[in-house]
Every structure is written in C-alpha cells, then in structure tokens.
Chain A
Amino acid sequence: MTVQPSDASFAGATRYVLDEELAQIVNISMSLEMPLLLKGEPGTGKTMLAHAIAESLNMPLIVLNVKSSMKLVEALYQYDTLTRLNDSRFGDSRRDVSSIEAYIKMGKIGQAFTADQRTVLLIDEIDKADTDFQDDMLDVLDQMEFDIIEIDKTMSARHRPVIIITSNAKKDLSDPFLGRCNFHHIAFPDPKMMRKIIGVHFPDIHDDLVDNAIAAFYHMRELEAVEKRPATRELINWIRALNADPDFKPKRLTKGDVPFLGVLFKKSGDYERASAFVNRRKMF
C-alpha cells in the first residue's frame, strides 16, 4: 500500500477473510476515533480481526487480556515497589531510588498511549471484568489520558490508538459503556464463507475432504444442549487432524463416522453427548 498510515483504510489481511460490511465498520470507527465493540460467538474471529488490522495497517498490536480479578490501574501502569525496595537495600542498580518515576512500569493501555506510533489496542473479553472496570476504562479511553497518583503526573496519549474491544457475553454491557462505542455483531459464518476461510488456512487441501468436513461440522453444530459449541478454531484444528491421518477417507464422514470428536467437543459432557449423537446416526 502506498497511502499514508494516518489515513490508511483497512482492506483485509493475508490470513483473514473479511466481509465488506465489517471492513466499512472498522474504517468508520477509525475515522470517528471511537472504540469498536465486537460481539459474537467464540471462534467467529473477533480477536483475529484486531491482528488483521494491525497487520494490514502496519501498526504494532497491543493486547490487553481482561481477567475477572483485574483492576483498572493494572491495565494503566504498575508501581514496582518490590524492585525499589530491593534497590534501596542493595543499591546495585543504575536506577535512581529517590525518583519514583523510575519504578513506574506501563500497563497495556499505558503502552498504547506512550508508543511512538499509532497502535492497535485490543481489549479482549471485556465481559470478564466487572461493570466498574468497564466504565472506568471507557473514561480513560474517552479522555485519552490518565493520572499516575504516585508521582502526580498525567499521561496523555501521543497517538490515539485504534481500539477494538471484544465481548463473548450474551448479556449486554452497561449503557454508558455502549454509548461510547460503535457496535458490531459477527454472525457465525455460513458454510460458503466457511469454505473461503478454510481455503485461506489450507490453500492446497483436497476439495472432497473440505466439503465433507464442513457438512459434518455444521451437522454437529446443530446438536442442542451443549456447553460449548465447536467454532471456526475447532474446525480448523479438526481438518488439520483429518488431513494428517493417512487412513482417513472423506467418504467415511458422509456415512456418519466422525473421528477425532475430542478436537471438536472439549467439555466431557459435550463429548459424551456428541458421541452418542454420532453413534445414533451410524445405526440408521
């Protein structure tokens, strides 16, 4: 691409199949400088999208994996008291013990703010944290600055990062949070789209295998009362496994013989249900 990074627009990446609608949404969010909230079933490529944006726009990617116990300040910066105590005791480092600033380490959001160039900041699985975390974080992202209390200093973003937020929750996030984001829901890809996605990952795989595997996969997905339904990631691993097995013949799938169920269903309850389902099919 020859365009400047500042007004570059997103057009897909080597390992990501992008639909036009999503590309437009990403571009609008980037030019409006608003975070983009992505929802959808696990395995629909929410996280991959951020990787793809970073790759195609040539920006560094910073990933903040949200955990349930996480506090906002951890995502912003950390005051490394342990090192400072150590330095003051033994005094064998070049850091200045009397300056607290030398012991402030940037968290993921802090890194995105202080980076030399515009970055892509992926905030993954925001729904894991509590509502306070979510609202406070949006304040920071809205103002593009935060205070470091220990040294009484305000950090402002040098470049406004491209912010992608993902959520798996079926429950909605709080209203003030939603008000500050753009929203998109990534639907589970239909078999045609899935065919393309598989094509990107396995450029020279046998058509016969892919068609049968995809058909069997969508059939297995219809299974009800399953804790975690298999998604794109599982399908890709499954095809990899099928492909690696020299004894495997794609014809067997149509007859209801499904090997490597454990790749698709990872919870033991789900696995039992799935194998019962498969065996039933074999009988008829």
Chain B
Amino acid sequence: MLNNRRKVINKTLNQILFILALMLCWELLARTGWFPPLLFPRLSDVLRTLITDIRSGEIVGRLYFSLYLIAQGLALAVVTAAVAAVLALCSPIVSDWVQAVMAILHPLPGISVLPIIILWLGTGPRSIVAVIWFSSVWPLIANLHTGLRSVPATQIEVGQNLGLKGVRLIGKVLIPSAFPYILTGLRVAWARAWQASVAAEMVFGASGGEGGLGWFIYKKRFFMEIASVFGGMFVIIVVGLIVERLCFEWVEARTVRRWGMTLE
C-alpha cells in the first residue's frame, strides 16, 4: 500500500517535471526571437496577461458563465439519460429503440447540429445549453444502459428476496452495481460538455454580455491578443484537470475503489 503510494507520487513528480521542462523550452524558444511574438508569445507574457485577466475579473466571469451553462446542459442530459435507461430496462422494446437512436445520433458531433439549433432556439445561451446537452447525452445513455444491463441477475434476485422493490431496488442494488459505468459515462459527458461549450461559442460567437470562455478566446483572437488566447486555453486545461483529478477521482476513491470494483 505504502509502496504503491510512493509509486504514484514518483509518477506524478516525473510528470510535473516533464511539463515544467516543456514550459521552460517554450519560454526559451520564444526568447530566441526565431518566431514573431504575434504567432508565438513568451510563456511569461501569457502568464502575465492571464493574471491581468483574472484580476480584472473578466476571465472569472467568463469561466463562471461557461460552468453555469455546462451545469444546466449536463443536468438535463443526466435526467434524459436516466429516464431513457430506466425505460429501456423496463421494456425490451424501448431498449431496442434507445439502442437504435443512440447508434444513429451518437456519431454526430454536438457542434454539427448548431446551425439547426440556432434556427430553432436563436443565438443565445439556450442554444449553447442545447449543444452541450446533445454532446453529452449519448455517452451518458450508452454507459447507463450498458451498466444497468450488466447487473448480474443473481444480485437483483438477492435484492428482491430481501424485499427491495421499485425505486429502492434501483437505489440499493442497480445503481451501486452499475456505478463504474455511470462514473465513466459522467466523465465522458463532462469532457464532451466542456468541449461543446467552448466550440459552440467560438463558432457563433455568443452575444457579448453572456459569453463564456469560448467567447473570451474568440474576442481576444479578433483583437490579436494572442497571449490572452493562450491564457483562455490554460484556464480550460486547469479546470478540466481539477474536475477530473479532484472531483471524479474523489468520487471514485469513495465509491467503486472502496467497493473493490474498479474496471481497470
């Protein structure tokens, strides 16, 4: 156990050192002056503008707005996926339907439906929420569906013998048993929602007052503030890492790992 932990720390240290070395290379390469700073700004300039953008509150407001839209889109997607998966569990006919719809729509990138969504819902936060929903709902349904169906019949029967029925059977037996799948589904859905929100705003350029990080990058691009464009990308990376490393791993450590059922 201790040995294992040391291994993990070593690995993390190794990775951090590598990233730091890459960052140093970036700074040195930019300082050689081989590339115009308009195309390739120094890392120090990027960090400096990032701090300015954070201090001015601009990037924080944009980040908050992005997360707010993602929360809405993801929440809707989770509800949709749960309803679809439970219905599919109850009836084999619905299960076939869900699988058919999934097979048709899953390969479609969320961003490709944007033109239609703009026509139907206009150019506002609603459209972005819709794209986020569309991007994240299919991986969620796929994982929930597989997860619920992979619960061994014996476990369900044991639950039933203990007198569990309906919602309690789902809550006590089905969800814990399918949890590794649910977690995977949420992870993929989060990643796709994050990508979709940034992509959608960069394609149609959300309105100025209510834009997230995608709009931030889009606007900085047109004002040629390349260092700020990199800064926006950094924020996206950092938030992605935080959610992945802190939130999901925290949940994983307290659930599936503790229950001894990791998929790895």
Q: Are A and B part of the same complex?
A: no
